[in-house]
A and B are shown apart, each in its own frame.
Chain A
Amino acid sequence: MSALLEVDDLRISARNDDDELTPIVKGVSFTVARGEVVALIGESGSGKTTIALSSLGYTKPGLEFTGGEVRLEGEDVITMESDQLRGLRGQRVAYLAQSAAATFNPALTIGEQVTETCVLHGILTQEQADQRAETLYRALELPDPDRLGKRYPHQVSGGQLQRLMAATALCGKPDLLVLDEPTTALDVTTQIEVLKAFKSVIKQEGAAAIYVTHDLSVVAQIADHIVVLYAGEIQEHGTAEQVVSKPSHDYTRRLMHAVRPPPAAGQGDETSGEHRREAPALEVKDILAGYGRTQGGVPSITVLRDVNVAIERGHSVGIIGESGCGKSTLARVMAGLLPAAQGQVLLDGEELKPALQQRKRDELQKIQFVFQMADTALNPRQRIDHILGRPLEFYLGLKGEEKRRRIGELLQMVELPQEFAGRYPEELSGGQKQRINLARALAASPEVLLCDEVISALDSIVGANVIELLKRLRKQTGVSFVFISHDLSTVASFADEIVVLYAGRVVERGTTDAVLSPPYHPYTRLLISSVPELRVGWLEETMETQEAQAGIDRVVTLTDKGCPFFDRCPLAIEGTCDEETPPVRALTGSHAIECHRSEAEFAH
């Protein structure tokens, strides 16, 4: 069979200030046959996007081709002139960027944007293109295909936008699709829907695709061949089945190892020792919070309702939910960044003022916030020793030699070399910055650490290392953790207790083992079944389940009455679930589920 795309000994280098070339891609060769999906997998910096973009004859500014060929049907695209490239891009090779939300123009209708490329290239007339777009909407299982084209990007959900990007790319019937991390920014329940749509449409259209990602379990669902990259070199190359089940290279095995096992009972990092009968380290009671002007104790947009969470001393509580469920808002209420409209925040049994400006310094010291993005949470103009030194000086009054020694200890605690003290944040990698971010919070000697999605922005291997570090720090320091994440497997491997949030309500809570074993709240069941497993064929099996069909890819809506999960729930009772606030059903131990259905009904 003739290959559609042949990448032959491709070399790409970056030119620095002194006109020296640093190789980024070091002699990579692979082929993509028609109708085949080839995945490029590796961490950030491995050159996977650079290689994928070369199939469009494009390099990012500052990079240049230094050798090899990229042949599309035998023609070298690297040496093409710009007018030839114009014919190539969007027509024969189409590119799908990572963030659909940033790619769509909010001022134009979806239809105009989906058909723009192929009409511009003169492949189809506007009418033909509109028809073609409609066929694609159907193939991608988008709702209301006849009228979707008239709507605007903000009127559809994130997962739908991501699928619409695929429609845009496929509209001109390209020979090759380049997909750059198309599901990385999505929630698990949305991700599987998008993956399924991509997979079926690629098969249906007979197009070939290059799929760029760092997530091995996603790759296992969609790719025929896998190319594992590290630092611009191919480490392993084989069929998906072969790479996933029998990895032959060390690096692939490390990648596999970093994929957290699917969430299941019995793998939680339970703190040993007796539950001491004293006030929890941090507790929130009956919290109602939101944004906008507050009138009569109710904000104009209410995000959290009736939220009760207690964090026992030395325990770690995982808070899990999809984007928009209010998990970050909860952390901000705890830290005082967003004063709650109603309810209490208790530290060691003592009530705290809602706003942080009114809290005392030693109260602030005991609750430390670790921000999600280490890139933006560290001031780029401050050296690491200043960043770590400030809380030491501010809370503990440390100065001079004592402060320097403590900074050294903190760096050691987060496993970074001492000489990092003299560096600026931009000289560090993503994982190293996150460690500094953690060290800064630890510098205050807190009692509770609020970790807001601390590993979400990191690659799998780096993220796994940070989780290991967190586990060690917990044992070492006895600090209580509030661990917020949208990734159930991460939370399952770290937390003693799990709180499942949905649309601002706690739908289930209990020890990790209790939450991850039946009986489940229907939403927890959906979350658990949506986590991709590292095996070929998982996607097809999952899509058959009842939960998946009822609940996948719906927008989370905030409601002030009834159960917010009503419209996605396979067990919903019309007339009850959408009208009345569900009761909290206490099960064994501290395990509680908020649902109208009885234990026997959802315990199937």
Chain B
Amino acid sequence: MSESQQETSPSTQFEELPDAPPKRKVKLSWPGKIGIAVVIFWAIIVAIGPTIAPYHEADILDEELFIVPGSDEMYPDTDFQPPSKIVYLGSDYLGRDTLSRILFGARTTIGISFIATLLAYLLGVTLGIASAVGSRFLDMSLSRVNDALLSIPSIMFALVMIAALGSTIPLLILLTGIIYATSVFRIARSLGQEVMVSDFVEAAKVRGEGLWWVITREILPNIAMPLATDFGLRFVWVILFVSSLSFLGLGVQPPMSDWGSMVKENLPGLVYGSVAPLMPALAIATLTISVNMIVDDISAHSGGKLAKRMIS
């Protein structure tokens, strides 16, 4: 049957077979899609949060708002109120609106974390690549300094620095950036080293290309994807770190709201069954879990190699 077909087209017969099936596109699973939706939701809140908030983050609500019509109670409690039509997510320990504070806090928490992660990447990738392509001496010195920084517990380091220099937002960003640059450095260095010994970099060197070309055209495009994925994960850790600093009272200072400090301030409310400490915790959880779900999908696409490297 196929005999006749083959005779008619001798030239197309026995074409060289393709090496491997075409690469699959990144396909998001449904948790990944939910993750993207939640991240987009929070991005919108960062942009418009304060304008749609019913109250200001520092407003202590008036007692009159809580007077139930027909009741003779003139001075009702305003703190730790359950969710109602007046305060959709309840009120906090000073009687401020939890929803408004979460909406305002999104900007501080996500903003600080995002800028700090960017800073960590700027520092870490620059030095990591320098270490990968530079001389043995440069690599050794940068790596040992990095190891020294890594060996200091990050919370302790931040605690000492904040105690000495005072808690301001620029310092918070700088500190977080430096602390997280250490792990970015290690990833960028190991990714860079791997590409550095590949044949195509060798080919560029034999051609006589300069270091700048090798870095920007040969190395960076090949490590951009794993770095971008790691950026998502690192961002989550920075959020948790900034939140834990705030929880210890070292981060964002009152009356500015921040999800981490909101959890801390309202902890006593748990005794009264208040939702005030749970809501900001939930906000942190939704954002971090969503980013993780997206990262998982991309990592699965790369055969899990990415995930393994990022743990180190």
Q: Which residues of A are in contact with B by a Cβ distance under 8 Å?
A: 14, 16-17, 22, 43-46, 62, 230-231, 233, 250-251, 254, 335-337, 356, 359, 361, 364, 368-369, 371-373, 376-382, 390-391, 394-395, 426-432, 440, 444, 461-462
Say yes or no: B16 contacts A356, CB within 8 Å.
no
Q: How far is the CB of A504 from chain B (nearest CB, A)?
A: 22
Interface pair B203/A371, CB less than 8 Å apart: yes
Closest B-chain residue to A361, C-beta based?
Answer: B208
Q: How far, in whole Å, are A441 and B209 apart by their CA atoms in the complex?
A: 14
Q: Which residues of A contact B222 (CB under 8 A)?
A: 379-381
Query: Cα distance A380–B207 when bound, in Å?
Result: 18
Compute how far the CA of A554 lies from the CA of B22 in the bound complex, rounded to whole angstroms.
Answer: 42
**Residue of A whose beta carbon sits closest to that of B208:** A364
Which A residue's beta carbon lies closest to that of B197?
Answer: A376
In the complex with contacts A16-B21, A250-B6, A251-B14, A377-B203 CB distance below 8 A: yes
16 contacts between A and B (CB under 8 A): A17-B27, A43-B16, A45-B19, A337-B206, A369-B206, A377-B199, A379-B217, A379-B222, A380-B222, A381-B221, A394-B207, A427-B22, A429-B16, A429-B18, A440-B203, A462-B16
Per-residue interface assignment for chain B, residues 195 to 237, with 1 indicating a CB less than 8 Å from any chain A CB and 0 otherwise = 0001110110111110000000110011000000000000000
Q: What are the residues of chain B within 8 A of A390 when measuring CB–CB?
A: 207
Q: CB-defined interface of B1-44 with A at 8 Å, one 1/0 digit per residue? A: 01000100000011011110111110100000000000000000
Closest chain A residue to B218 by CB distance? A379
Please give, as numbers and ranges, the residues of chain A lying within 8 Å of B205 by CB-CB distance: 337, 356
A379, B209: Cβ atoms closer than 8 Å: no
Identify A382's interface contact among B2, B17, B217, CB under 8 A: B217
Instruction: Please tell me if the beta carbons of A379 and B200 are within 8 angstroms of each other in the complex.
Output: yes
Contact of A373 among B13, B18, B199, B221 (CB under 8 A): B199
Contact A44 B14 (CB under 8 A): no
Do A356 and B18 contact each other (CB < 8 Å), given the known contacts A17-B27, A377-B199?
Answer: no
Q: With A and B bound together, what is the CA distance between A102 and B25 in angstroms?
A: 30
Please report the C-alpha to C-alpha distance between residue A427 and residue B19 in the assembled complex, in whole angstroms. Answer: 9
Other-chain contact of A359, B6, B27, B208 (Cβ < 8 Å)? B208
Contact of A364 among B6, B16, B198, B206 (CB under 8 A): B206
A390 to B200, CA, bound (A): 13
Q: Which residues of B contact A250 (CB under 8 A)?
A: 6, 13-14
* CB <8 Å contact, A432 and B16: yes
Contact of A371 among B18, B27, B199, B221 (CB under 8 A): B199
Bound-state CA distance A378–B27 (Å) is 27
How far is A399 from B202 in the complex, measured between Cα atoms in Å?
A: 24
Chain B residues within an 8 Å CB radius of A382: 217, 221
CA distance A376 to B222 in the complex (A): 12
Cα A372 to Cα B221 with chains together (Å): 23
Q: Which of B16, B18, B21, B198 has the most CB of A within 10 A?
A: B16
User: For B21, what are the chain A residues with a Cβ–Cβ distance below 8 Å?
Assistant: 14, 16, 22, 62
A371-B202 Cα distance, complex, nearest whole Å: 9
The 3 closest A-B pairs by CB, nearest first: A45-B17, A381-B221, A377-B199
How many Å from the CB of B199 to the closest CB on chain A?
A: 4
0/1 per residue, B261-301, Cβ < 8 Å to A?
00000000000000000000000000000000000000000
